[in-house]
């Protein structure tokens, strides 16, 4: 990370990465942070454990065994970045103000982030090895991590950690593995990429 002249915290491209890389199709669903994500694209398996945690937790409610999840995640593309808090906050404010049922949000005197923060109980999050907010492909901002976002924002952290994952490829691999091990049974519901996006987690 680096701080620009206007005080914004930005990202420094990895030294071993070219400044001109072909765009990965799966990243097109993450338009708000596309450029930064593209610079940091990697294999999911290469990420630190605390970065992987939101994805593993998200998959825990689906009909996949832990071993099949680990196999499927091997080689799946992902991107972990830290973006200046003010930049992420601006994206979140724009999202809420553009929603049809929040048409008057831009005219409210109370900051929408203050209103959002008030909906969550106080939370303790680490200062280092911070779990990322899991980005939603396509519509929306976060699949998981709204409470962490408002906690980082309210604490005045300089950056917000964000994680994007190639969900279609991940679920294709999980489905293939599930069919191969058709004898495995579980009481958990089966999930695919569409279910995953349509069912937000309990933290908003």
Pairing of strands 133-135, 159-165: parallel
Report if residue 165 sits inside a domain: yes
Taking the complete model, does pTM exceed 0.85, yes or no? no
Report if residue 23 sits inside a domain: no
Rounded distance between C-alpha atoms, residue 29 and residue 143, angstroms: 13
pLDDT in tens, the chain (204 residues): 444 434 444 444 444 444 445 668 999 999 999 999 999 999 999 999 999 999 998 888 776 778 778 888 888 999 999 999 999 999 999 998 887 455 454 455 578 999 999 999 888 899 999 999 999 998 889 999 999 999 999 999 999 999 999 999 998 888 876 655 555 444 334 465 544 444 444 444
3-state DSSP call for residue 42?
strand
Closest to 73 measured CA to CA, from 191, 202, 7, 172: 172
What pLDDT does residue 180 have?
59
Report if residue 13 sits inside a domain: no
What is the number of domains present in the chain?
Answer: 1
Report if residue 6 sits inside a domain: no
Q: What's the domain range around 93?
A: 45-198
Residue 200 phi/psi, 5° resolution?
-65, 150
Report if residue 57 sits inside a domain: yes
3-state DSSP call for residue 30?
coil
What pLDDT does residue 184 have?
47
Closest to 1 measured CA to CA, from 36, 27, 30, 33: 36
Report if residue 30 sits inside a domain: no
DSSP 138-198: SSSSEEE-HHHHHHHHHTT-SEEEEEEE-HHHHHHHHHHHHHHTTT---SSPP--HHHHHH
What pLDDT does residue 199 have?
45
What pLDDT does residue 93 have?
92
CB 11 within 8 A of CB 81: yes
Report if residue 56 sits inside a domain: yes
Rounded distance between C-alpha atoms, residue 59 and residue 52, angstroms: 11
What pLDDT does residue 13 have?
43
What pLDDT does residue 135 have?
97
Report if residue 3 sits inside a domain: no
The edge-to-edge listing of strands for the beta sheet with 77-84 is 41-43, 77-84, 159-165, 133-135, 142-144
Residue 3 phi/psi, 5° resolution?
-105, 125
């Amino acid at each position: 990370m680096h701080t620009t002249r206007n005080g914004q915290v930005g990202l420094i491209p990895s030294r071993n990465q070219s400044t001109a890389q072909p765009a990965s199709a799966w990243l097109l669903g993450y338009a708000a942070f596309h450029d930064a994500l593209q610079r940091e694209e990697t294999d999911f398996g290469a990420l630190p454990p605390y970065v992987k945690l939101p994805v593993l937790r998200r998959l825990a409610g689906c009909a996949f065994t832990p071993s099949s999840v680990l196999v499927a995640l091997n080689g799946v593309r992902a991107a972990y970045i830290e973006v200046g808090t003010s930049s992420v906050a601006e994206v979140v404010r724009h999202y809420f103000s553009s929603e049809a049922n929040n048409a008057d949000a831009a005219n409210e005197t109370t900051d929408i982030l203050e209103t959002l923060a008030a909906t969550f109980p106080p939370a303790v999050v680490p200062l280092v090895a911070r779990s990322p907010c899991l980005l939603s492909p396509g519509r929306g901002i976060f699949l998981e991590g709204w409470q962490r976002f408002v906690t980082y924002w309210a604490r005045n952290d300089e950056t917000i950690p964000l994680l994007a994952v190639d969900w279609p490829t991940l679920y294709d691999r999980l489905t293939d593995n599930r069919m191969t091990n058709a004898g495995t049974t579980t009481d958990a519901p089966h999930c695919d990429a569409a279910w995953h996006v349509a069912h937000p987690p309990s933290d908003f």
